[in-house]
């Protein structure tokens, strides 16, 4: 089995841990307790690390407001909230500028070339990626669903551009917590990738990585670990050292092992 760095977890899972901790503090101590506000800052920081700018901004703003009206609260708590809010505002503004620019590119390509054109498909990929990255998967659904439908019609089921459209849609389904649907699509996409592209093709390994994420989300941690371990081994074999996809697989496997209560380095 692949060896992974200890303590290096998936950013989305770190957000979940912090979200659960905040919910527990709110339930046990109330929303304005200093420890609850500290937990809220922890979640906001995790959301920032996961580039969920809008969610981080909303939480940091609420935490700052609560901290400013609290009596006897340590100033460092409100200072931290203010700093997180400033970072979230800056990140959100930059992300929205990029997103609006990409939306214009997509609309122009769609108007001039049509939905089934490769340039439009690639523009849709990037638009959906940006939306999912900032936590706007619900808004991305209409674009990714239409893109997958049009790509299948224009290129057929087995072309890599169609498989990549499916992969894009998997991330959207996952982002709106439709994990069972995402798993089915990921299983289908990985099977096609294995058959058409080969098991060691980098694109196929992306499909495997996405399927493992859905298995983990659905609680099948053993299956997720097995697939993540295999994917990490293959990525280390076919990709250059330091490739970002290797780091993603390392974090995913570390998360699987954490959920199973196992050491990253048995």
The crossing angle, in degrees rounded to 10, of helices 34-49 and 53-69 is 160
The C-alpha torsion from 156 through 157 and 159 to 160, rounded to 10°, is 140
Do 226 and 186 form a contact (C-beta atoms < 8 A)? no
Count of CB atoms situated within 10 Å of the CB of 136:
21
The pLDDT score that the predictor gives to residue 237 is 96
The pLDDT score that the predictor gives to residue 135 is 85
C-alpha separations of 158 from 121, 161, 165, 189, 203 in Å: 15, 8, 11, 9, 13
Do 63 and 44 form a contact (C-beta atoms < 8 A)? yes
Do 257 and 225 form a contact (C-beta atoms < 8 A)? yes
21 vs 193: CA distance, rounded Å: 39
Q: Which domains, from first to last, does the chain contain?
A: 1-113 (1.25.40.10)
The pLDDT score that the predictor gives to residue 255 is 94
C-alpha separations of 177 from 59, 138, 165 in Å: 21, 10, 19
The pLDDT score that the predictor gives to residue 71 is 60
Place of tokens 């050292």: 241
- Cα radius of gyration rounded to whole Å, the chain: 20
The pLDDT score that the predictor gives to residue 5 is 46
Angle ∠(89,91,95) on CA atoms, nearest 5: 115
pLDDT in tens, the chain (266 residues): 454 444 578 888 899 899 999 999 999 999 999 899 999 999 999 999 988 999 999 999 999 999 888 766 678 889 999 999 999 999 999 999 999 999 999 999 999 999 889 999 999 999 999 999 888 899 999 999 999 999 999 999 999 999 999 999 999 999 999 999 999 999 999 999 999 999 999 999 999 999 999 999 999 999 999 999 999 999 999 999 999 999 999 999 999 999 998 876 65
- H helices, E strands: number in the chain: 11, 0
The pLDDT score that the predictor gives to residue 26 is 94
pTM across the whole model: 0.83
């Amino acid at each position: 089995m692949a060896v992974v760095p200890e303590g290096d977890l998936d950013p989305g899972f770190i957000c979940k841990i912090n979200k659960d901790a905040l919910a527990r503090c709110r339930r046990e101590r109330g929303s304005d307790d200093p420890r609850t506000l500290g937990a809220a800052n922890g979640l906001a920081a995790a959301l920032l690390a996961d580039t969920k700018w809008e969610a981080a901004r909303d939480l940091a703003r609420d935490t700052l407001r609560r901290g400013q009206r609290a009596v006897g609260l340590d100033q460092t708590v409100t200072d931290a909230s203010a700093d997180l809010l400033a970072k979230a505002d800056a990140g959100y503004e930059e992300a929205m500028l990029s997103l609006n620019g990409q939306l214009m590119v997509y609309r122009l390509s769609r108007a001039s070339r049509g939905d089934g054109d490769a340039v439009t498909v690639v523009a849709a990929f990037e638009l959906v990626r940006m939306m999912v990255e900032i936590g706007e998967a619900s808004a991305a659904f209409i674009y990714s669903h239409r893109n997958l439908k049009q790509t299948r019609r224009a290129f057929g089921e087995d072309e890599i551009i169609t498989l990549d459209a499916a992969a894009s849609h998997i991330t959207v389904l996952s982002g709106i917590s439709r994990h069972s649907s995402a798993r089915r699509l990921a299983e289908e996409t990985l099977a096609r990738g294995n058959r058409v592209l080969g098991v060691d093709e980098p694109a196929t390994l992306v499909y495997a990585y996405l399927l493992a994420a859905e298995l983990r989300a659905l609680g099948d941690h053993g299956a997720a670990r097995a697939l993540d371990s295999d994917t990490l081994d293959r990525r280390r074999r076919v990709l250059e050292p330091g490739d970002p996809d290797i780091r993603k697989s390392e974090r995913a496997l570390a998360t699987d092992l954490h959920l199973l209560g196992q050491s990253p380095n048995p």
